[in-house]
């Protein structure tokens, strides 16, 4: 009974928080959902563990000839012990599924005011191409306060662009285009690491997301664009 | 038990075939266990520790996964336990097709020898047990070894499935109705149904891999019109049910142990069989996409299979409730097999509950392919299954060998392994949530985890010592243990009613099953 109450309480509390602040930042939403699920599974786990521990202590064999005294369940009890746990588990399942789905939508619906960058992965580097044609390798420089969308593919094996700090990864594969987005809000550096076994040097396939203030980003971005134009002109001249 | 080598090689007796499966799978366990220890040794420090060559590490990783699953757990559970116990539990003289049975055990030996040859060929496979293309088709490692290992072991398993489904359907003793079958028999039948349905899919997938690599086809090569994701779908369409091929028999073994040592009726037998076991079989084929949450599959199927994955908690919950309920009003004693069985309940509880976050697509976007996943599946399947296998071997040890093992050594081994397991896999889940990716030879860019890795190496050494003590205990017990009684645990189950060890043909006369008999009927009204 108390499990139903706890579940109902959690459901109500969670629904309230979700409704108040729709998820703008999937990473923050991830942390919140993770905490909720941890509470949920801890309650279930502790309940089961306590019952088991109590049975083990209470019903230990006291003399060598003792046998268990459990009676055969009546039909009604057997059905009850099947149907009631089923509904408790299903209630918890659907509660979790609903919250998981809501966060999933946040992860898959990319804000319109985004910076869209192409990524081609290869053994063993991350190659980014910005909208203006500027290319970087293993360093993804982005402005703070703007959602970043990566459209990803791979030129050889399967890789997975994992940014632990932004709680997101998605595989990049040859012949397919996948995407992920994240929302960098403060300047700083975040590690990018490969999360799909891609070859011998898999564990050395590392890069970083460098978040810089917007002004600094714009300066860098236009400067790189200019450089690109110059080298492009030189090439044409030749 | 046969005395000469010839008797063992040409045997068609289900008990000897079972013991052959046990010896082979324990050898595979030893090899794959050493691989795990080598990996943990390598990860003790940042940078190269044991080997300079990441490839060597990747081969260990491949061998550990592939051999543990295909060479140890599945053959030990559906080979050894099924062979040894099922005919005894249903009151049959042998299996339906004894010669086919002998053929499948020797196929199994070919399979594990092929798997172990990995260490003696110049270009061993380094494709992980999943062998995802394109890497598995462009690697210089010998992917064909992987393909043929899977095909041969799969074929052995299909033969076993045909054999045991027939045996249980047609060879039950008179009066042995379906609702009197041991839970273990039901579980193993369910596992074999899964094998028969799904192994051919895996066979197809790994065969196409070798076609692509060696014959120039392009099933998985997008440059020539193939698709890399088809393989992953085919692979997990088998390999998720494979988890239940391991789970079902191991939980069946645990049921037998718990019912015997609690001397108690299985709680709500029909819920466990028709809700739990049937439910798992029913749902097992529609949850594979949770292995592909980060591969860009269509949203509707990722969400749909998030729901089916969560719903697996219902039948799995039934099996756990049945298990814990069997302790209620029992008369529990705590010999070594029971410790392992209770250990399984504990490990499975942690493993099962930590699987719930992984069922959620959105949480998996962070957790996928990290140590969290590795910790979770070791708790829920790898170590829980191995504990059940070790508990089961201890439990039936007196019946098999006619001798007793050392109880002190058995308990010591259990506690050492149990401590080591929780050190390794708890820490593993913790650093996984913090971002440690799996399948890393080196963690140079995650230096903050070095201390945790050292603790895990320490824990792994404990696990190794504990399991080694168990195996030593069996060897010494089988050679020099005290003579065992026919029914040392006071079990009601049919396999304990024949003499110890059982003679060829199992029974002097086929047991007649009385109306009121039940493998779990302890309470006398």
Say whether pLDDT at B462 is over 70. yes
Suggest the residue from B437, B441, B488 to mutate for an interface test with chain A (most A CBs closer than 10 A): B437
Whether the predicted pLDDT of B16 surpasses 70: yes
Q: Looking at the predicted structure, is the pLDDT value of residue A229 above 60? A: yes
- Cβ of A174 within 8 Å of Cβ of B222? The answer is yes
Q: pLDDT at position B400, please?
A: 95
Whether A17 shows a pLDDT value over 60: the answer reads no
Angle between helices B14-42 and B384-401 (to 10 degrees): 140
The predicted model gives B503-518 an average pLDDT of 88
Question: Tokens in use for A210?
Answer: 């460098």
**Does the beta-carbon distance from A171 to B317 stay under 8 Å?**
no
Report which of B425, B346, B341, B351 is spatially closest to residue B387, judged by C-alpha positions: B341
CB B477 within 8 A of CB B406: yes
Query: A115-237: which CATH topology?
Result: Immunoglobulin-like (2.60.40)
Residue A22: phi and psi, rounded to 5, are: -55, 150
- Hunting for tokens 């529609």 — which residue is that? B286
Whether the CB-CB separation of B117 and B145 falls below 8 Å is answered with yes
Enter the tokens of residue B39. 């990996």
Length of chain A: 238
Cα dihedral sign, A58-A59-A60-A65: positive
Using the predicted structure, report yes or no on whether residue B389 has a pLDDT greater than 60: yes
Query: pLDDT at residue B1 above 70?
Result: no
Residue B167 has which token pair? 């045996």
Whether the predicted pLDDT of B74 surpasses 50: yes
The stretch B91-115 carries a mean pLDDT of: 94
Q: What is the pLDDT of residue A3?
A: 58
Q: And the tokens for B321?
A: 């409730």
Domain boundaries, chain B: 5-496
In this prediction, residues B279-287 reach a mean pLDDT of 95
Q: Which two tokens stand for residue B418?
A: 């149990």
How many CA atoms within 13 Å lie on the side-chain side of B70?
35
Q: A67 vs chain B: nearest CA distance in angstroms?
A: 5
Tell the burial category of B516 from Cβ atoms under 10 Å away from its Cβ (0-12, 13-18, 19+).
exposed
Residues of chain A with Cβ-Cβ distance to B325 below 8 Å are 81
A21, two tokens: 């602040």
pLDDT at A109 over 50: yes
**Whether pLDDT at A78 is above 90:** yes
Token duo for residue B339: 């410790």
Strand duo A178-182 + A139-143: pairing: unpaired
The pLDDT of residue A20 is 45
pLDDT for A144-174, tens place per residue?
999 999 999 999 999 999 999 999 999 999 9
CATH architecture of B5-496: Up-down Bundle (1.20)
Residues in chain A with CB shorter than 8 Å from the CB of B128 are: 197
Q: Do A68 and B342 lie within an 8 Å CB cutoff? A: no
Q: Is the peptide bond before A124 cis (omega within 30 degrees of 0)?
A: yes
pLDDT in tens, B261-272: 999 999 999 999
How big is the CA angle at B107 (ends B74 and B26), to the nearest 5 degrees?
Answer: 45
Q: What is the DSSP letter of A192?
A: E
Where do the H-state alpha helices sit in B262-295? 269-270, 278-284
How far is it, in rounded angstroms, from Cα A144 to Cα A124?
27
- Between CA B112 and CA B165 the distance in angstroms is 25
Give counts: helices (H), strands (E), chain B.
21, 0
- Cα-based distances in Å from B327 to A117, B187, B253, B350: 59, 20, 15, 19
What mean pLDDT is predicted for residues A184-195? 96
- How far is it, in rounded angstroms, from Cα B377 to Cα B473? 28
* Higher-confidence position of A20 and B157: B157
pLDDT at A178: 96
Residues in Cβ contact with B322 at an 8 Å cutoff, skipping those fewer than 6 apart: B255, B266, B267, B268, B269, B271, B272, B276
Cβ neighbours, 10 Å, residue B478: 15
Query: Which of helix, strand or coil describes residue B132?
Result: coil
CB B364 within 8 A of CB A195: no
* Helices (H), ranges, A2-114: 2-20, 26-58, 75-108
Q: How far A89 CA sits from the closest chain B CA (Å)? A: 6
As a three-state string, the secondary structure of B250-271 is HHHHHHHHHHHHCCCCCCCHHH
Mean local confidence (pLDDT), B277-292: 95
Neighbours of A222 (CB within 10 A): 12
- Report the side by side order of strands in the sheet with A178-182: A135-137, A125-129, A115-122, A148-154, A178-182
Q: What are the residues whose beta carbons fall under 8 Å from the beta carbon of A163, sequence distance 6 or more? A: A169, A182, A190, A191, A192, A209
**Residue A110 has what pLDDT?**
92
ipTM: 0.92
pLDDT of A232 reads 76
| Distance (Å, whole) CA B90 – CA B272 | 19
Distance CA B272, CA A65 (A): 28
Q: Directed axis angle between helix B384-401 and helix B336-353, to 10°?
A: 160
DSSP A66: -
When comparing pLDDT for A59 and A1, which is higher? Answer: A59
Q: Determine which of A195, A198, A209 to mutate to test the interface with B (most B C-beta atoms within 10 Å).
A: A195
Contact B183, B493 (CB under 8 A): no
Q: Say whether B522 and A201 touch across the interface (CB within 8 A).
A: no
Closest to B440 measured CA to CA, from B41, B43, B33: B43
Nearest CA in chain B to A162: B366
Sheet holding A206-212, edge to edge: A139-143, A206-212, A188-194, A159-163, A168-172
Q: Flag if B440 and A157 touch (Cβ within 8 Å).
A: no
pLDDT confidence of residue B512? 85
Asked whether residue B418 carries a pLDDT value surpassing 80, the answer given is yes
Lowest mean pLDDT among A121-125, B5-9, B102-106, B321-325: B5-9
Best A200, A206, A207 residue to mutate vs chain B (most B CBs within 10 Å) = A200
Angle at B49 between CA B47 and CA B52, to 5 degrees: 80
For the residues B71-100, what does the mean pLDDT come to?
A: 95
* CB atoms B359 and A56 under 8 Å: no
Half-sphere exposure (Cβ direction) of B250: Cα atoms closer than 13 Å:
32
DSSP states along B366-409: HHTTBHHHHHHHIIIIIIHHHHHHHHHHHHHHHHHHSB---HHH
pTM of the model: 0.93
* Count of other CB atoms within 10 angstroms of residue B165: 16
Mean pLDDT of A17-36: 80
Phi/psi at A70 (nearest 5 deg)? -65, 130
* Tokens matching residue B114: 């092929």
**Mean pLDDT computed over B412-425:** 97
> Beta partners for A159?
A172
Question: How confident is residue A234, by pLDDT bands cut at 50, 70 and 90?
Answer: confident
Average pLDDT, chain A: 90
pLDDT at B456 over 60: yes
pLDDT digits (tens, 9 = 90+) for B218-246: 999 999 999 999 999 999 999 999 999 99
Residue B509 predicted with pLDDT over 90: no
Tell me the chain B residues in contact with residue A107 when contact means C-beta distances shorter than 8 Å.
Answer: 362, 365
**Residue of chain B whose Cα is closest to the Cα of A78:** B268
Q: From the CB of residue A1, how many other CB atoms can be counted at a distance below 10 Å?
A: 6
d(CA B61, CA A203): 13
Shortest distance, CA A57 to any CA of chain B (angstroms): 9
Average pLDDT rounded to a whole number, residues B457-472:
97
Give, in order, the Cα–Cα distances in Å from B2 to each of A94, A193, B239, B484. 56, 56, 37, 18
Write out the two tokens for B225. Answer: 């019109």
Amino acid A236: pLDDT: 62
Query: Could you read off the pLDDT of B22-33 as tens digits, one per residue?
Result: 999 999 999 999
What number is the average pLDDT over the span B457-484?
Answer: 96
For residues A193-201, give the mean pLDDT. 95
Dihedral sign computed on CA atoms, order B296, B298, B303, B304? negative
Interchain pair B263, A68: CB under 8 A: yes
> Are the Cβ atoms of B437 and A85 closer than 8 angstroms?
no
At residue A230 the predicted structure's pLDDT band, cuts being 50, 70 and 90, is confident
């Amino acid at each position: 009974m108390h499990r139903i109450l706890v579940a109902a309480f959690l459901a109500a509390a969670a629904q309230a928080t979700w409704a108040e602040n729709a998820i703008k930042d999937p990473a923050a939403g991830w942390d919140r959902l993770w905490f909720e699920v941890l509470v949920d599974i801890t309650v279930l786990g502790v309940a089961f563990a306590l019952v088991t521990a109590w049975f083990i202590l209470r019903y230990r064999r006291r003399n060598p000839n003792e046998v268990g005294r459990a009676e055969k369940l009546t039909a009604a009890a057997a059905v009850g012990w099947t149907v009631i746990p089923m509904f408790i588990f299903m209630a918890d399942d659907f509660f979790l599924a609903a919250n998981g789905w809501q966060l999933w939508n946040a992860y898959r619906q990319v804000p319109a005011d985004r910076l869209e960058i192409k990524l081609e992965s290869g053994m063993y580097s991350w190659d980014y191409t910005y909208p203006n044609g500027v290319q970087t390798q293993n360093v993804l420089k982005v402005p703070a306060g703007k959602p970043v969308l990566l459209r990803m593919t791979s030129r050889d094996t399967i890789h997975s662009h994992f940014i632990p700090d932004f709680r997101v990864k998605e595989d990049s594969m040859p012949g397919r285009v996948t995407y992920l987005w994240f929302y960098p809000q403060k300047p700083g550096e975040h590690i990018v690491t490969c999360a799909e076994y891609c070859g011998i040097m898999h564990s050395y396939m590392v890069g970083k997301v460098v978040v810089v203030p917007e002004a600094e980003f714009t300066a860098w971005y236009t400067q790189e664009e200019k450089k690109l134009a110059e080298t492009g002109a030189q090439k044409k001249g030749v | 038990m046969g005395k000469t080598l010839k008797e063992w090689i040409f045997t068609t007796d289900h008990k000897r075939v079972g013991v052959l499966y046990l010896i082979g799978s324990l050898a595979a366990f030893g090899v794959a266990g050493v691989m795990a220890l080598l990996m943990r040794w390598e990860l003790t420090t940042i940078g190269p520790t044991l080997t300079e060559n990441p490839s060597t590490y990747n081969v260990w990783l491949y061998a550990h996964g592939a051999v543990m699953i295909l060479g140890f757990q599945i053959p030990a559970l559906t080979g050894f336990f099924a062979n040894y116990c099922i005919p005894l539990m249903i009151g049959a003289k042998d299996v339906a097709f004894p010669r086919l049975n002998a053929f499948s055990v020797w196929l199994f030996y070919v399979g594990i020898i092929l798997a172990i040859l990995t260490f003696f060929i110049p270009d061993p496979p380094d494709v992980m047990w999943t062998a995802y293309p394109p890497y598995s088709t462009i690697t210089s490692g010998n992917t064909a070894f992987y393909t043929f290992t899977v095909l041969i072991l799969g074929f052995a398993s299909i033969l076993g499935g045909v054999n045991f489904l027939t045996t249980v359907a047609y060879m039950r003793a008179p009066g042995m109705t379906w609702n009197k079958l041991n839970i273990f028999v039901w579980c193993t039948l369910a596992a074999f149904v899964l094998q028969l349905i799904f192994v051919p899919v895996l066979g197809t997938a790994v065969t196409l891999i070798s076609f692509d690599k060696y014959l120039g086809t392009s099933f998985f090569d997008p440059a020539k019109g193939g698709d890399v994701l088809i393989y992953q779908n085919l692979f997990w369409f088998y390999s998720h049910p494979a988890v239940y091929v391991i789970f079902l028999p191991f939980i069946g073994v645990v049921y037998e142990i718990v019912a015997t040592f609690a001397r108690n009726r299985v709680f709500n037998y029909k819920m466990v069989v028709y809700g739990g076991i049937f439910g798992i079989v029913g749902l097992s084929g529609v949850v594979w996409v949770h292995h592909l949450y980060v591969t860009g599959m269509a949203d509707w199927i990722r969400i749909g299979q998030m729901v089916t994955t969560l719903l697996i908690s219902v039948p799995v919950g039934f099996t756990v409730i049945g298990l814990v309920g069997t302790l209620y009003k029992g008369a529990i004693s705590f010999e070594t097999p029971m410790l392992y069985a209770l250990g399984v309940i504990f490990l499975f509880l942690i493993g099962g509950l930590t699987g719930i976050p992984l069922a959620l697509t959105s949480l998996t976007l962070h957790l996928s392919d990290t140590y969290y996943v590795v910790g979770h599946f070791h708790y829920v399947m790898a170590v829980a299954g191995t504990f059940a296998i070790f508990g089961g071997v201890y439990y039936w040890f007196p019946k098999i060998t006619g001798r007793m093992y050392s109880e002190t050594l058995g308990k010591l081994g259990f506690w050492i392994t149990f401590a080591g397991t929780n050190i390794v896999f708890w820490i593993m889940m913790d650093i996984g949530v913090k971002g440690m990716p799996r399948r890393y030879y080196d963690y140079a860019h995650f230096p903050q985890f070095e201390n945790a890795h050292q603790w895990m190496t320490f824990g792994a050494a404990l696990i190794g010592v504990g399991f080694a003590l168990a195996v030593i205990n069996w060897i010494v017990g089988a050679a020099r243990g005290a003579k065992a009684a026919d029914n040392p645990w006071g079990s009601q189950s049919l396999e304990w009613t024949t003499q110890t060890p059982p003679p060829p043909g199992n029974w002097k006369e086929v047991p007649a099953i009385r109306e009121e008999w039940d493998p779990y009927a302890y309470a006398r009204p």
